[in-house]
Homo-oligomer: A and B are copies of this chain.
């Protein structure tokens, strides 16, 4: 009887791939066990329970997304950085729908603190350096940007924009224009 060589990390990785294939809400302990050709009870020595698996998945996705965004804004500032950040964020959500859904889980405050969730606002603050914003405006701006990015991506995925022929891409660019001008005019 060869062992499958399971670890919490390998399970989390596989769960992430599974999420992108079948949707975050369909990531199940049983399905994951099937994928490794193993009984579902065997997974419980690596993960506490199904919720624990989902939290690990969320933490993984948050880290990946932060990585992608950080890379995208390196060496850019102002409008360039804003557009790069936004496009990296949206691209990740499109390429990894299941992982992206996972990032929207409500995490325990301590888990969230450990995770890369905080890195997002740090990076948003980094991109704001090209604009002329200080506290508390900076925090307001971080929240506005995050809200708009997430809201757009989320509605796009739920099909809310399909009712109108106007290209989604054009609306996205227009939204970024709007945000750029808001940030430039913010101090006013």
Contacts and interface: CB of A to CB of B under 8 A. Distances in A.
A175 interface: yes
A166 interface: yes
Contact of A150 (B112, B154, B164): B154
Contacts of A161: 143
A164 B178 CA distance: 25
A26 interface: no
Main DSSP-derived SS at the A contact region: helix
Given A151-B154, A162-B109, A143 B175 contact: yes
Contact of A148 (B151, B157, B162): B151
Interface string A144-181: 10111111101101111111101010110011001001
Given A163-B112, A178-B182, A144 B140 contact: no
Interface residues of A, number: 46
Nearest to A183: B178
A152 B158 contact: no
**Residue among A136, A149, A186 with max Cβ neighbours from chain B (10 Å):** A136
Interface stretch (A4-12, A27-35, A100-108): A100-108
B166 A136 contact: yes
Contacts of A143: 152, 155, 161, 168, 171, 175
Contact of A154 (B104, B107, B159, B178): B104
Contact of A25 (B25, B154, B159): B25
A104 B124 CA distance: 26
Interface of A: 25, 104-107, 109, 112-113, 117-118, 121, 135-137, 139-140, 143-144, 146-152, 154-155, 157-164, 166, 168, 170-171, 174-175, 178, 181-182, 185-186
